[in-house]
């Protein structure tokens, strides 16, 4: 894995968890934007917030459950995934005012994903970056797309670049439906 990507991700996670250093210079700084407000781009990914059951879009076979919630006064979206076989994972999603992009950092026991992007002209969230596999140390370019549907569901699709074929191979495709009893 690229060491600078790993270090950047660790720093971002540390700052989000611990918070900024409180020096008098930082305390007097004007905020870049009010991420706890209702304005774009801060709310661009809110369509994904909710309690979800995730299914294979073709067979309707259940893949797992996903809780996606706002944290830090709406400045962070936290994802907590549990598959039907018990595999878990967590992602932190946030709009980065410095790069002017949405960023997701995903981690579970076997995979680390770090990618960034934003909404396209169809209202879909598109992110692109790198996937890293802890077990074998391999990494590859990676893409994700979240498409909000009229019925309130969200289609999530991932692709990994295959260097041998120079093509993007499908990696995951899941349909998010509001979980029974969910108020979202």
pLDDT at position 31, please? 56
Range of the domain at 129: 3-178
106 burial level (CB within 10 Å; 0-12, 13-18, 19+)? buried
Q: Where does the chain show beta strands of DSSP type E?
A: 50-55, 62-71, 76-83, 88-96, 101-107, 111-119, 125-133, 139-148, 154-162, 167-178
pLDDT at position 136, please? 97
**In angstroms, how far is CA 126 from the centroid of its own chain?**
10
pLDDT at position 73, please? 86
CA distance linking residue 58 with residue 106, whole number of Å: 25
For the domain that residue 88 is a member of, what is the CATH number? 2.40.128.20
pLDDT at position 6, please? 53
pTM for this prediction: 0.82
How many structural domains are present in the chain?
A: 1
CA distance linking residue 152 with residue 148, whole number of Å: 7
pLDDT at position 30, please? 55
- Does residue 183 lie in a domain region? no
**Low-confidence spans in the chain with pLDDT less than 70:** 1-33, 182-184
pLDDT at position 183, please? 57
pLDDT at position 32, please? 47
Residue with token string 């569901």 = 153
- Does residue 39 lie in a domain region? yes
- Does residue 184 lie in a domain region? no
pLDDT at position 37, please? 81
């Amino acid at each position: 894995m690229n060491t600078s990507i790993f270090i950047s991700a660790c720093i971002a996670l540390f700052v989000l968890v611990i918070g900024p250093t409180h020096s008098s210079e930082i305390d007097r700084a004007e905020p870049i934007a009010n991420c706890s407000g209702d304005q774009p781009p801060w709310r661009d990914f809110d369509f994904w917030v909710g309690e979800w059951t995730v299914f294979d879009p073709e067979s309707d076979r259940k893949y797992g459950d996903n809780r996606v919630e706002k944290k830090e006064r709406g400045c962070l979206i936290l994802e907590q995934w549990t598959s039907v076989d018990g595999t878990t994972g967590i992602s932190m999603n946030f709009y980065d005012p410095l790069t002017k992009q949405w960023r997701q950092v995903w981690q579970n026991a076997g995979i680390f994903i770090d990618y960034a992007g934003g909404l396209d002209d169809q209202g879909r969230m598109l992110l692109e970056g790198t996937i890293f596999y802890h077990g074998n140390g391999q990494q590859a370019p990676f893409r994700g797309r979240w498409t909000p549907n009229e019925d309130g569901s969200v289609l999530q699709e991932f692709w990994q670049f295959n260097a041998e074929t120079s093509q993007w191979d499908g990696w995951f495709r899941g349909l998010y439906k509001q979980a029974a009893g969910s108020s979202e």
